Amino acid sequence: MLGLMFRIMATLNRLRTRRSHTSRHLAMLTAATALLVVAACGSESDGNTGASAADGSLPAGATVEAADPVTLRLGYFPNVTHAPAVIGVETGAFQEALGDDVELDVVTFNSGTEAVEAIFSGALDASFIGPNPAINAYAKSGGDAVRIVSGTTSGGAALVVREGIDSADDLKGATLATPSLGNTQDVALRAWLAEQGLTADTSGGGDVSITPQDNADTLVAFQTGVLDGAWVPEPWATRLVLEGGGSVLVDEADLWPDGEFVTTHLIVTAEFLDEHRDVVAELIAGLADSIETANSDPAAQDIVNSGIENVTTKRLPDETIAGAWSNLTFTLDPIAGSLAESAADAESVGLLDPVDLTSPGIYDLTVLNEVLAARGESEVAGL
């Protein structure tokens, strides 16, 4: 009885210092603690515990069991392709699923490279991220650093070009942009150009010059005629069309079976997954609820737009977010086959050394499939 009382008192103290606590939880715990104190004071002692000392010290043999709350440091991008992550943060779905014993510490990034650096420095436990940065993190760590535990988003990337470019042949001598060297769209562009018989090296030479740069800079450069086009994710593809007067030369969905390819998924450090599989299960449950909101709630686009504005101080025009949204599919399925193809493409263009994604395995979908089973949904497969 006393051990339980002290556990509740410790939890109460933790909640008093937690940002996510509520008065209802405090009231319930306070009442429970008071009842236990009365019960403990009025109960007869047994041979193992004895009566409490007058100074309030514990009886001989009694212990205080009070585990520290787990902190989950979670990263995401303030972007439409991370819509379920934005929803999970903005609506509180993640914290609700995690419960009061997990402290959620969220941080935003502008690129997968930044998120991977944070993971390698020990500053991050999990992140929503694109496929190629996840592959790079796995490869650089010899398969030890990260595991993909769930899908998030499919689709939403395109090559948008200026007027006068109507085919691959028209790209000879053109200058195109991608978000960063070796990122998902950069690899996709280089692989597609190679299939068209066009060369492009990592220093900006070849038949087509590729300039990796920030997406915001790409929009300005495209509007001013410095760039002939760019292979970018949403909402930037839509923005290049609506604000830059461009047209879509290649919708990446057309290059994949059934138009499905992974754009964003959830990775967790192998260490955190091993130590806190229950927390990961709760996070995925919150993600499942957020994806359901993204797919069915008419207010989802506004929630995401407000979330983006909260981080960047800039709100997307309704037309832009609606256009981008129509090119995206939100799903827990990580679409593993497309990840393997992205890795093969990165190898073929010289941006990735050969890597075995199956040993020890970049995917660990055990927890995800447990969550899906509990929701009455079909399991998904890895590699």
Q: What is the pLDDT of residue 21?
A: 36
In this model, does residue 48 exceed pLDDT 70?
Answer: no
Q: With bands split at pLDDT 50, 70 and 90, how would you rate the model's confidence at 65?
A: low
The confidence score (pLDDT) of residue 59 equals: 54
pLDDT of residue 350: 93
Identify the domain containing residue 265 by its residue range: 70-155+260-374
Residue 37 CB partners (closer than 8 Å, separation 6+) = 5
**Which CA distances in Å does 66 have to 24, 74, 353?**
21, 25, 47
Residue type at position 370: E
Q: Give mean pLDDT, residues 187-214.
A: 96
Give the strand order in the sheet containing 102-108. Answer: 102-108, 70-76, 126-129, 262-269, 146-155, 328-330
Could you tell me if 324 and 304 are in contact, meaning their C-beta atoms sit under 8 angstroms apart? no
- The pLDDT of residue 293 is 98
Sign of torsion over alpha carbons 325, 327, 333, 338: negative
Q: 65-69, 232-236, 342-346: which range is least confident on average? A: 65-69
* Predicted local distance difference test score (pLDDT) of residue 61: 55
Summarize the confidence of residues 79-105 as an average pLDDT: 97
Task: Extract the tokens encoding 293.
Answer: 């909101």
Are 293 and 91 a contacting pair, CB within 8 Å?
Answer: yes
Domain end call among 241, 259, 277: 259
- What percent of the chain is helix, strand and coil (3-state, nearest 5)? 45, 15, 35
Q: What percent of the chain has pLDDT over 70?
A: 83
My answer on whether 266 and 329 are in the same domain is: yes
Give the Cα separation of 286 and 281 in Å (integer): 9
CA atoms of 370 and 366, how far apart (whole Å): 6
pLDDT in tens, 325-365: 999 999 999 999 999 999 999 999 999 999 999 999 999 99
Tokens, residue 135: 């592959």
The distance from CA 75 to its chain's CA centroid, rounded to whole angstroms, is 6
Residue bearing tokens 């998904």: 380
Q: What is the rounded average pLDDT for all residues in the chain?
A: 87
Considering only residues 7 and 219, tell me which one the structure prediction assigns the higher pLDDT. 219
Q: State the distance between the two ends of the chain, measured CA to CA, in whole angstroms.
A: 49
Name residues whose C-beta falls within 8 Å of residue 23's C-beta, 6 or more positions apart in sequence. none
Identify the sign of the CA torsion 205, 177, 82, 234: negative
What CATH number does residue 95 fall under?
3.40.190.10
Question: Residue 372 and residue 288: Cα distance in Å, rounded?
Answer: 9
180 and 245 inside one domain: yes
If asked whether residues 210 and 323 sit together in one domain, one would say no
Residue 190 has pLDDT above 80, yes or no: yes
pLDDT on residue 76: 98
**138 with 85, same domain?**
yes
| Band (258; pLDDT cuts 50, 70, 90) | very high
pLDDT attached to residue 111: 87
Beta strands in the chain (DSSP E): 70-76, 102-108, 126-129, 146-155, 157-161, 175-178, 209-212, 229-233, 247-251, 262-269, 328-330
State which amino acid sits at residue 269: T
Please say if the pLDDT value at position 192 is more than 90. Answer: yes
Residue 68: what pLDDT? 76
- Looking at 259, 277, 301, the residue that finishes a domain is 259
Determine, yes or no, domain membership for 296.
yes
Question: What residues does 159 pair with on adjacent strands?
Answer: 231, 250
Q: Is the per-residue pLDDT at 30 higher than 90?
A: no
Which residues are 151's β-sheet partners? 265
Query: DSSP string spanning 104-138?
Result: EEEEE-SSHHHHHHHHHTT--SEEEE-HHHHHHHH
Do 241 and 118 belong to one domain? no
**Number of domains within the chain:** 3
147-161 burial: b if 16+ Cβ within 10 Å, else e: bbbbbbbbbbbbbbb
CA nearest neighbour of 132 among 256, 232, 235, 264:
264
pLDDT in tens, 113-164: 899 999 999 999 999 999 999 999 999 999 999 999 999 999 999 999 999 9
**Which has more pLDDT, 29 or 253?**
253
Q: Is the pLDDT of residue 307 over 70?
A: yes
Q: Which residues contact 196 (CB under 8 A, 6 or more apart)?
A: 168, 171
Last-in-domain residue among 229, 259, 289: 259
- For residue 27, the model assigns a pLDDT of 38
Q: Does 64 map to a domain?
A: no
Strand partners, 233: 157
Q: Where is pLDDT greater, at 79 or 56?
A: 79
Report if residue 58 sits inside a domain.
no
